[in-house]
Structure 1
Amino acid sequence: MRARTHPPSQPPSVRNCCNAVMAFSHQTAFERLQAAHANGRLAHAYLITGPIGSGKRELAIALAGMILGCRPDEVPHHPDAHFVQPESKSRRIVIDQIRELEQAIQRKPLISNNKAVIISDAERMQPQAANAFLKTLEEPPPGSLILLLSALPEAILETVLSRCVETSLRPTTAMVAAPEHAPVISALEQALLQPHPPTAGDAFRFTRVIQALIVSAKERISDENDSLLKQETSKYKQASEGSGWLQERAEQVKAMTEAGSVRERDRILQIVVDVLGQALRAQHGAPASHPVIQKLAEKFSPTNILKRLDAMETLRRRLALGVQEALSLEGSFLEMIMIK
């Protein structure tokens, strides 16, 4: 657990390597923060960082349950637990959400002595929303615990970062070894582990595989949410007051679909980052969870892998800033695969 002290000019890959050294499993992080709470040393605002699937939300829920005096599975429905996540069409956390949150946490707790706030995808806060939250973040009401979650902390305003204590979570070996990650690992093998040096053709083939996985994930989410909306429409369309609610609900479901699609895209891209990161760690004695990871570690130098990680960080920043997805993927993957 630490304040963010690295200089903004430091390359993303170097920051990530430093974070990896000081990162914890989410269980170890919880135990350390639990001890801090028992000793009266728990801070009022934490930034929980780590790749998708590293347990950021699980840790936040466990911490919220700790201060609210309830089980983790009760936290999502607890009246003194407040949640914020990107819900607008632009997939941003907007100022109205922050104003609503501030009103909620200024009120007295309903059934607990404390209040917990969990802000997911904190890097998606609009600057106006982030600036509006600074005073509360620095001096929250007594008994409040504010938890910001992010897989891309470099995209968060420095004024927000400076008001939080960072807890970094490391990816688990199981994340890369999971069966659903096989298509991405196979695509990396085809692009980077051929007898010849990687070519532009290899890069574009890799891009097509990743794009196909993203499209498939988006279609699945869209189908699931469309089915949900149809069920609700069938249930409420007969009610005279239901038309306005259904129209509002349709907009909510559309925003949910867009948000879920972005999360799935980020999850797929994170697999690439995790594979490269594990290859880098394997060069320093860590076990490789997949043969492809070991081969990458043997074929490329640490500097080469760091450059590829830099290219992936650049891609994620472009996407976070709203650069067109297909253009971002093609350009960044061409750069990442062709690095010498």
Structure 2
Amino acid sequence: MSVSNETRVTYFILLGLSSDPGLQIVFAILFVVIYLLTVSGNLLIVVTIYADSHLHSPMYFFLSHLSFLDLTFSTVTVPRAIVNFLSESKTISFSDCIAQLFFFHFIGCVECFHLTLMAYDRYVAICNPLRYTTIMNRRFCLLLVFSTWVGGFIHSFIQAFLTVQLPFCGPNEIDHFFCDVQPLSLLACSTIFINESIEIANTGSISLGCFLVVSISYAYIISTILKMRSSEGRRKAFSTCASHLLVVTLFFGPCVFIYMRPSVTFTADKQISVFYTIMTPWLNPVIYTLRNEEVKKSMMRLGGRKNLGMRVCHQGMWEGVSTHTISLLARFELWAGERF
């Protein structure tokens, strides 16, 4: 179907999660709180792992990279959603919409691959502990992480390229709180069968494939744990695995549900999307890192050095405020980790 430049859509309207003004304010407040916790928690983890040489190992390297991905992934969608909740004009330009779609799939796909790498890392550490340092050497870890970024870029480029090729001539209301392939495809003025097929083969298969690999890895890990003689060791290991699998399910489950089917509108889609766009970037640092004793000790050591520096150096009020903020932030995040 040929569409002239005069009739082509130049902007979209993001309808958000609700049309009720009162609920929009509530959602805005919730999103702000969760986003601030996500940013602070993940930044704290990245700084702690970078600053403490005791944490310079493959496992913590992967954890710091996961925190960076969570921070970035959340930033792609949440700030724009908050602005839309609080403003009367909920428009987004065509180019900005495509850019958000690209980076959403880019970072999201990298995180899918990275969670799979972390499951493999734990599998090697628990099931092949004697060969762990040989297999997971620095060069191999860097190569694995680099490959996730290459794979994520290829995936997102395909998604964005196919979406740009679709003709949009109206309507221009996206029934979502961010730009994604499926709600955008439903607005196209031509058939989307090819796009749907590629999307299912691409996004859907990546989500399902990564989830299956993670599940198989943890199945082997649990099998190894069952052979432990220490009941206390088995309890702690099962607790860790259960929390990891919970977060992985919250991330991959909605992805499989949304991207493994044709572009059919379900009212629950945008609510389900909240789990892997908003909740998991906040829960990941709590579940994966802040429950870790070594990380807690490192945060305490880092906080101790900060307090010592504040007592020794008298460089003005701002240094004291900054140190106090870091100390409070570390305590709050550790408290959150204990609660989970």
Q: TM-score, normalised by structure 2?
A: 0.29
User: Is the strand fraction higher in 1 or 2?
Assistant: 1
**TM-score of the superposition, structure 1-length normalised?**
0.29
- Taking CA–CA contacts closer than 8 Å with sequence separation of 6 or more, which of the two structures ends up with the larger relative contact order? 2
